[in-house]
Chains A and B, each alone.
Chain A
Amino acid sequence: MKMKRLGALALTTTLVFGSVLTGCGGKDKGTTADGKKNLSVFIFANDHESPIYKGMIEKYKEAHSDTIGNIDVQITTQDEYSKTLTGMMTAKELPDVFYVGPESVQQFVENGYIENIQPILTELGISTDDLVAQEALNSYRYDGTKVGTGDLYALPKDASVFAYAYNKDLFDKEGIPYPDPENPYTYDEFVEVCKQFTKDTDGDGQIDQWGCGLANQFMIQQYIWSNGATFLSDDYRTVTIDTPEFKEAFQKFIDLTLVHQVTPTVEQDVSLGVYQRWLAGQEAFYACGTWDVAAFMDKETFPFNWDLCGYPTLSTGKSMTWLGTVGFCVSASSPNKKEATELISYLCANEEGQKELCGVIGGQSIQLPNLKSLAEGEFLTSIEDGSLPFPESVDVFFSYLGGTGNYEGRFQETTYTPNAEWFDIFFKNVDNVKNGSMTVDDFIADVQPQMQESLDTAWESIE
């Protein structure tokens, strides 16, 4: 009797653990009992995007109820995304659809994680010609040796722009004319304008209003590129921060803090970040990403009038900034690649969904429209008639995105390297230069070998 109970206990234990393990490793089968296809989606999204994507996926499911069974959607935060995805890769449990950045395309393809969707797009007759950001689209192409050309491995969810913004109320208060969005300031003009804003407004002997806020990692490239320099060589294998052009641009960036003193010092930045100071109306200029528009248009968050403008220009005369993108891809192990490709094309180019994301519906813009027809049509008319709260000089975004005579947007150089550690090394200690304890030359002599070593290691890791 006791042995029977013992046997029952052992069996129960086995079953419990067996079911736990099955639960850990299991996923929906690719097909339902009645032959419909199941899909799984794993993405990151913020609080505003999340319900929009869930709604779009639900609508897609309803519209394809004859072929699609269930769509399992997992949404996480941007910080957690890559760690969870790595776990999924290790466990060989990739969802059918997930995000990929251009920097990962080559590695994901070479390691067999993502599918070449070009033949499926061709078979389904899906065109990508109406997508606004063709450069973003091309960043998901891979020809077996190089990213940027060849077949498509993902479709861009969006293309974002990190433009410059100014506080109109501060300009009015100081009686300074607004910047011309058609002709960005030169560096010297910018410094002169910034100097007029930098002052102690309450008479306590402390500066409490500045010309601009400088977020190192996100704002230095604008200066470097505009001076014709880059962090890396054209093949992204050599760190080139010791060129005269780079040093000059870097020095000018540092001078804004040390010499011209038109931006908060390192200590002041530690107390209250430059972003918070912008929101508090203490800085005349700060950056505005396409994802920031809804927040900045919300008076609760940013109770000032503002508009977009270009970053100051250096020797090339071009105002530069960086672009960003993330794309939907299809897992190479997906049993339903065709259906997954159809779904990602819907998520990238569905007009209703795009209207919600760009704010034509709902009035909160967190990205530019992906569709040319929408970007050139209803998006602009909604801004003009005031139904979509948006800064007047919306063209600044499109000028960076598409490029003009005096505007150019580029993907960050980390986009083309296996990881961004080499880039982070530069910024870990850059405050030593900003606080005057190191010169530009000494700093570069110190960090360049470290950056090069890190970059070499990164390339070795995938070869």
Chain B
Amino acid sequence: MSGGKAVATKKMNKAEFREHCWGLAFVSPAFIGFLIFMAFPIAFAFFASLTKWNGMNSMTDNFVGLNNYIKLLGDDKFWKVLLNTVIYMIGIPIGMILGLVIAVGMNRKIKGIKFLRTLYYVPVVSSLVAVAILWMWVFNYDYGLLNSVVKLISGKHGPNWLGDEFWVKISMIIFMVWKGLGSSIILYLSGLQGIPRDYYEAAKIDGASGWNLFRDITVPLVSPVTFYLLITGLIGGFQVFVEVLVMVPSGGLNYSAATVVFYLYEKAFDSNQMGYGSAMAFILAIFIFIVTAINFKGQDKWVKTIE
């Protein structure tokens, strides 16, 4: 009896082993790719962050320990760009609210709806650089579309959108919301279409108003999408770079438009302070990790799924 069991176990183990091998063979390309293109660069950047490496000198001869991190914490410019980056994140809830409202509007059979959906999605698939250049012209102080409209309506010259410390942030938020709106709409649409009609019908029989339906059924049941948008928005928000580089290449008056990644890029590639830039990248990664972890931790309290 026990001998038979042992044979069965042995056979199982062999089959399992074979399966494991196949599994490993299939994941190995991705795993090797991860090691080469992610794990190694991360380890390399971490080591670089402990040195005064400038891209040309030897890293090992220029080891400075945690000096770059200490210096960074006392760097006013770093805190300024971090604040700018956080301010830009005001666009995340704005984009989510707009996305949900428009998605609700689009979640019905009306003429030309496919065309409208496509239209909203065009900015998402367009080149970021191309649309950033386009918006530079929209925001142009003298000749921009926005100021032409402002002048037409108010008779006064509009603000210096990209040249003023306050307005440049507003401009960037407008641009980022516009650029990301298509994604939010499409994701919310898919979320909305996953809500069973019965829920709404049952609530209507109970006398619920349109607002009640939206607040108590729609909003909670698309919360997984909201959670996804929030997480990806925050991660992306911490990494804003191209928009600034294209629209305000100097970083704005008094560095008012610069983000952490923009500053990191300038330090690493313009000033050749690769070590300092790597330290900044690490601090940024830690911020992103903390914010994401907090979000995941708190999701149980507000993210609902359809049972």
Q: Is B269 in contact with chain A by the CB < 8 A criterion?
A: yes
Contact between A90 and B271, CB atoms less than 8 A apart:
no
Given A424-B270, A428-B255, A432-B253, residue A271 in contact with residue B29 (CB < 8 A): no
Stretch at the interface among B53-61, B184-192, B214-222, B294-302: B53-61
CA distance A82 to B162 in the complex (A): 29
CA distance A454 to B25 in the complex (A): 51
Given A113-B56, A461-B52, residue A272 in contact with residue B29 (CB < 8 A): no
Contact between A111 and B29, CB atoms less than 8 A apart:
no
Contact between A419 and B270, CB atoms less than 8 A apart:
yes
Q: Is A394 in contact with chain B by the CB < 8 A criterion?
A: no
Q: Is A151 in contact with chain B by the CB < 8 A criterion?
A: no
Chain B residues within an 8 Å CB radius of A460: 52
CA distance A16 to B28 in the complex (A): 12
CA distance A421 to B56 in the complex (A): 17
CA distance A271 to B164 in the complex (A): 12
B183 to chain A, nearest CB (A): 29
Chain A residues within an 8 Å CB radius of B58: 111
CA distance A3 to B182 in the complex (A): 49
CA distance A420 to B140 in the complex (A): 29
Contact between A270 and B160, CB atoms less than 8 A apart:
yes
Given A2-B18, A90-B55, A431-B253, residue A271 in contact with residue B271 (CB < 8 A): no
Contact between B269 and A419, CB atoms less than 8 A apart:
no
Contact between A461 and B22, CB atoms less than 8 A apart:
no
Chain A residues within an 8 Å CB radius of B250: 427-428
B56 to chain A, nearest CB (A): 5
Main secondary structure of the interface of B (DSSP, over half): loop
B272 to chain A, nearest CB (A): 5
Residue of A nearest to B28 (CB): A13
Contact between B142 and A429, CB atoms less than 8 A apart:
no
1/0 contact string of A423-439 vs chain B (CB within 8 Å)? 01001110110000000
- Which residue of B25, B162, B255, B269 contacts A10 across the interface (Cβ within 8 Å)? B25
Chain A residues within an 8 Å CB radius of B253: 429, 431-432
1/0 contact string of B34-67 vs chain A (CB within 8 Å)? 0010000000000000001011111000000000
Q: Is B32 in contact with chain A by the CB < 8 A criterion?
A: yes
Q: Is B254 in contact with chain A by the CB < 8 A criterion?
A: yes
Given A267-B160, A271-B140, residue A458 in contact with residue B56 (CB < 8 A): no
Given A270-B162, A429-B253, A462-B57, residue A421 in contact with residue B270 (CB < 8 A): yes
Contact between A420 and B273, CB atoms less than 8 A apart:
no
Residue of B nearest to A461 (CB): B54
Contact between A271 and B273, CB atoms less than 8 A apart:
no
1/0 contact string of B266-283 vs chain A (CB within 8 Å)? 100111111000000000
Residue of B nearest to A83 (CB): B269
Contact between B29 and A13, CB atoms less than 8 A apart:
yes
Contact between A86 and B56, CB atoms less than 8 A apart:
yes
Q: Is B141 in contact with chain A by the CB < 8 A criterion?
A: yes
Within 8 A of B (CB), among A11-62: 13, 16-17, 21
Chain B residues within an 8 Å CB radius of A418: 54, 272
1/0 contact string of A259-274 vs chain B (CB within 8 Å)? 0000000111011100
Chain B residues within an 8 Å CB radius of A9: 25
Contact between B56 and A108, CB atoms less than 8 A apart:
yes
CA distance A6 to B269 in the complex (A): 45
Contact between A458 and B271, CB atoms less than 8 A apart:
yes
Residue of B nearest to A437 (CB): B253
Q: Is A107 in contact with chain B by the CB < 8 A criterion?
A: yes
- Which residue of B32, B54, B254 contacts A429 across the interface (Cβ within 8 Å)? B254
Contact between B272 and A266, CB atoms less than 8 A apart:
no
Main secondary structure of the interface of A (DSSP, over half): helix
Q: Is B211 in contact with chain A by the CB < 8 A criterion?
A: no
Chain A residues within an 8 Å CB radius of B144: 271
A326 to chain B, nearest CB (A): 17
Given A6-B25, A420-B270, A461-B272, residue A428 in contact with residue B54 (CB < 8 A): no
Chain B residues within an 8 Å CB radius of A3: 18
Chain B residues within an 8 Å CB radius of A111: 56-58
User: Considering residues B28, B54, B56, B143, which has the most beta carbons from chain A within 10 angstroms of its beta carbon?
Assistant: B56
Given A86-B56, A89-B56, A266-B163, residue A17 in contact with residue B32 (CB < 8 A): yes
Residue of A nearest to B161 (CB): A270
Chain A residues within an 8 Å CB radius of B56: 86, 89, 107-108, 111, 113
Given A90-B55, A429-B254, A457-B273, residue A17 in contact with residue B163 (CB < 8 A): no
B253 to chain A, nearest CB (A): 6
- Which residue of A107, A271, A420 contacts B142 across the interface (Cβ within 8 Å)? A271
B288 to chain A, nearest CB (A): 24
CA distance A3 to B52 in the complex (A): 50
Chain A residues within an 8 Å CB radius of B54: 107, 418, 461-462
- Which residue of B21, B25, B162 contacts A13 across the interface (Cβ within 8 Å)? B25
Given A13-B29, A108-B56, A428-B250, residue A270 in contact with residue B141 (CB < 8 A): yes
Chain A residues within an 8 Å CB radius of B18: 2-3, 6
Contact between B251 and A428, CB atoms less than 8 A apart:
yes
A270 to chain B, nearest CB (A): 4
Within 8 A of A (CB), among B55-84: 55-58
CA distance A6 to B18 in the complex (A): 9
Chain B residues within an 8 Å CB radius of A10: 25, 28
User: Considering residues B21, B58, B272, which has the most beta carbons from chain A within 10 angstroms of its beta carbon?
Assistant: B272
CA distance A271 to B58 in the complex (A): 45
Chain B residues within an 8 Å CB radius of A429: 253-255
B302 to chain A, nearest CB (A): 42
Contact between A461 and B273, CB atoms less than 8 A apart:
yes
- Which residue of A6, A113, A270, A428 contacts B163 across the interface (Cβ within 8 Å)? A270
The 4 closest A-B pairs by CB, nearest first: A271-B142, A270-B163, A421-B271, A86-B55
On B, residues with C-beta under 8 Å from A are 18, 21-22, 25, 28-29, 32, 36, 52, 54-58, 140-144, 160, 162-163, 250-251, 253-255, 266, 269-274
Would you give 23 A-B contacts (Cβ < 8 Å), ordered by A?
A6-B22, A13-B25, A13-B32, A86-B55, A86-B272, A86-B274, A89-B56, A107-B54, A111-B57, A267-B142, A268-B141, A270-B163, A271-B140, A272-B142, A419-B273, A420-B270, A420-B271, A424-B270, A427-B250, A428-B254, A428-B255, A458-B271, A462-B54
* Other 18 A-B pairs with CB < 8 A, given A13-B25, A270-B160, A461-B272: A13-B32, A86-B55, A86-B269, A86-B272, A90-B55, A107-B57, A108-B56, A267-B141, A270-B141, A419-B271, A419-B272, A428-B254, A432-B254, A454-B271, A457-B273, A461-B54, A461-B273, A462-B57
